[in-house]
């Protein structure tokens, strides 16, 4: 898979390194918080450091400048000024641990290089730390990197540094090794233990059918990420839905892709909200290459041809083929977000 795909190979190396970077920051949560006097500063340091590392790694491994275009979530403006000096220094020192000799200017340039607007025929999109609350709780979060060509996601890599590879292990206890996921269009989805791209790959697949058991949906721990009331209504309408599995970040796509859950519903939380491409690009291709279906809440494919936003979509549904149709039917029957269906 990756041997014949230089983009995927580079992405796996970049995300694997970012997993180590963010885990190191997560292990120093209290130290970073005490230094900065800000409870949220550790995830800020991890966000910026991971984005810099991914940009630098892609630059090193891919010779064509056109392959360095990234639609990223962060920019270095948030690190400017004396008020951000301590956080800025922490970001630079974190990157320097993996990139000896790099200067502050070079780190900030790497962060700001992820400023593409999504207008090119091909580019990357990056969420350097998806799942802020999970990261700060010491639980689940993800580094998600997707490659988009001609409006389609063709490669996706997702690092889940705290996710156990064993499906029997609890999700609220961080795993010390984590898991790396990779997918290429038409080539399947794969799991790598220890966030190690050189580990033996294991092909993953979504559940084949219900077989009489209750369906299992996964959702966010963070309430703001989806409309829980509507999710409960959909579950009741679908019927035979058991207790959900809750975890933060795009790791939920992996839950469906590897057969640990049947569906992931991200229902709109407010009128006018538009999903960002970095929140779904990597996870969506991992899920679809694992055999799941991914659409918006009206059954329309996700359209990654509108720049940084999924402007032609509303919400996201990821589910195994048998349950996907039931979810879409339930949403239609309940009239959820019906004004946006036209």
- Per the annotation, the verdict on 121 as an active-site residue is no
117 & 199 share domain: yes
The mean-pLDDT minimum among 32-41, 66-75, 236-245 falls in 32-41
- Which of 161, 177, 203 is at the close of a domain? 203
3-state secondary structure of 11: helix
Tally of domains in the chain: 2
- Average pLDDT of the segment spanning 297-317: 96
Determine, yes or no, domain membership for 51. yes
Q: Do 161 and 21 belong to one domain?
A: yes
pLDDT, one tens digit per residue, over 74-85 is 889 989 999 899
Cα–Cα distance for residue pair 300/33, rounded to 1 Å: 43
Residues 275 and 329 in one domain: yes
Q: Which of 208, 199, 212, 294 is CA-nearest to residue 252?
A: 294
In a domain, 194, yes or no: yes
Q: Which residue has the tokens 């799991």?
A: 191
Residues 321 and 238 in one domain: yes
> Is the residue at 225 inside a domain?
yes
Whole-number pLDDT of residue 324: 96
Residue 208 belongs to a domain: no
329 is catalytic: no
| CA contacts within 13 A on the Cβ side of 200 | 0
CATH code, 244 = 3.40.190.80
Residue 167 and residue 226 share a domain: no
| Residue 342 in this model has a pLDDT that exceeds 60 | no
| Residue 230 and residue 150 share a domain | no
Identify the sign of the CA torsion 207, 208, 213, 217: positive
222 and 190 inside one domain = no
What does the pLDDT read at residue 153?
Answer: 98
Among residues 17, 47, 230, 288, the one annotated as catalytic is: 47
- Residue 158 shares a structural domain with residue 225: no
Over range 43-59, report the average pLDDT: 97
Q: Do residues 266 and 291 share a domain?
A: yes
User: Average pLDDT of 152-165?
Assistant: 97
169 belongs to a structural domain: yes
Establish if 118 belongs to a structural domain: yes
Contact 68, 62 (CB under 8 A): yes
Residue 166 pLDDT grade (very low, low, confident, very high; cuts 50, 70, 90):
very high
One domain for residues 146 and 282: no
Q: Which of 138, 173, 203 corresponds to the end of one domain?
A: 203
Q: Residue 21 falls within a domain, yes or no?
A: yes
Residue 9 — pLDDT band, cuts 50, 70, 90? very high
| Residue 210 scores a pLDDT above 80 | no
Q: Where are the alpha helices (DSSP H) in the chain?
A: 6-26, 29-36, 41-61, 85-98, 104-112, 132-136, 228-238, 251-257, 281-289, 321-334
Percent of the chain with pLDDT over 70: 95
Residue % of the chain over a pLDDT of 90? 80
- Would you say residue 131 has pLDDT above 90? yes
| Predicted confidence (pLDDT) at residue 118 exceeds the cutoff of 60 | yes
Task: Grade residue 40 by pLDDT with cuts at 50, 70 and 90.
Answer: confident
Q: Are residues 132 and 24 in the same domain?
A: yes
Q: Residue 322's domain spans which residues?
A: 217-340
In a domain, 211, yes or no: no
Look at residue 224 in the predicted model and tell me its pLDDT: 52
Please work out, in degrees rounded to the nearest 5, the angle formed at the alpha carbon of residue 53 by the alpha carbons of 91 and 169.
95
The separation between CA 15 and the C-alpha centre of its own chain, rounded to angstroms, equals 11
Catalytic residue among 33, 132, 269, 303: 132
**246: pLDDT confidence band, cut at 50, 70 and 90?**
confident
Domain boundary among 152, 179, 203: 203
> Which of the four pLDDT bands, split at 50, 70 and 90, describes residue 35?
confident
Phi/psi of residue 106, nearest 5 degrees: -70, -35
Taking residues 280-300, what's their average pLDDT? 98
CATH code, domain with 59: 3.30.540.10
Query: Smallest Cα–Cα separation from 228: which of 279, 256, 267, 270?
Result: 267
186 and 221 housed in the same domain = no
Per-residue pLDDT tens over the stretch 135-154: 999 999 999 999 999 999 99
């Amino acid at each position: 898979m990756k041997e014949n795909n230089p983009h995927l190979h580079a992405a796996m190396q970049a995300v694997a390194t970012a997993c180590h970077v963010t885990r190191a920051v997560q292990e120093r949560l209290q130290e970073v918080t005490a230094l900065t006097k800000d409870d949220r500063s550790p995830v800020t340091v991890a966000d910026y450091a991971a984005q810099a590392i991914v940009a630098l790694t892609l630059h090193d491994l891919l010779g064509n400048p056109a392959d360095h275009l990234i639609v990223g979530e962060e920019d270095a403006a948030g690190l400017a000024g004396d008020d951000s000096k301590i956080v800025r220094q922490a970001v630079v020192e974190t990157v320097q641990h993996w990139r000896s000799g790099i200067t502050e200017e070079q780190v900030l340039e790497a962060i700001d290089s992820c400023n593409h607007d999504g207008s090119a025929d091909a580019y990357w999109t990056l969420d350097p730390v998806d799942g802020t609350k999970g990261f700060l709780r010491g639980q689940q979060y993800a580094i998600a990197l997707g490659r988009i060509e001609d409006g389609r996601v063709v490669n996706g890599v997702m690092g889940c540094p705290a996710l156990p590879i064993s499906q029997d292990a609890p999700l609220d206890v961080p795993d010390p090794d984590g898991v790396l996921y990779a997918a290429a269009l038409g080539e399947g989805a794969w799991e790598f233990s220890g966030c190690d791209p050189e580990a033996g790959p294991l092909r993953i697949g979504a559940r084949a059918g219900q077989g009489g058991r209750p369906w299992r949906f996964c959702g966010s721990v963070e309430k703001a990420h989806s409309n829980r009331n509507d999710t409960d209504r959909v579950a009741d309408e679908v019927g035979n839905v058991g207790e959900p599995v809750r975890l933060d970040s795009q790791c939920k796509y992996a839950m469906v892709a590897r057969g640990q859950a049947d569906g992931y519903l991200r229902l709109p939380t407010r009128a006018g909200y538009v999903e960002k491409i970095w929140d779904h690009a990597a996870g969506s291709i991992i899920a679809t290459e694992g055999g799941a279906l991914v659409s918006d809440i009206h059954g329309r494919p996700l359209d990654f041809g509108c720049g940084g936003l999924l402007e032609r979509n509303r919400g996201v549904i990821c589910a195994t083929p048998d349950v996907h149709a039931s979810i879409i039917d339930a949403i239609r029957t309940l009239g959820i977000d019906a004004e946006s269906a036209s």
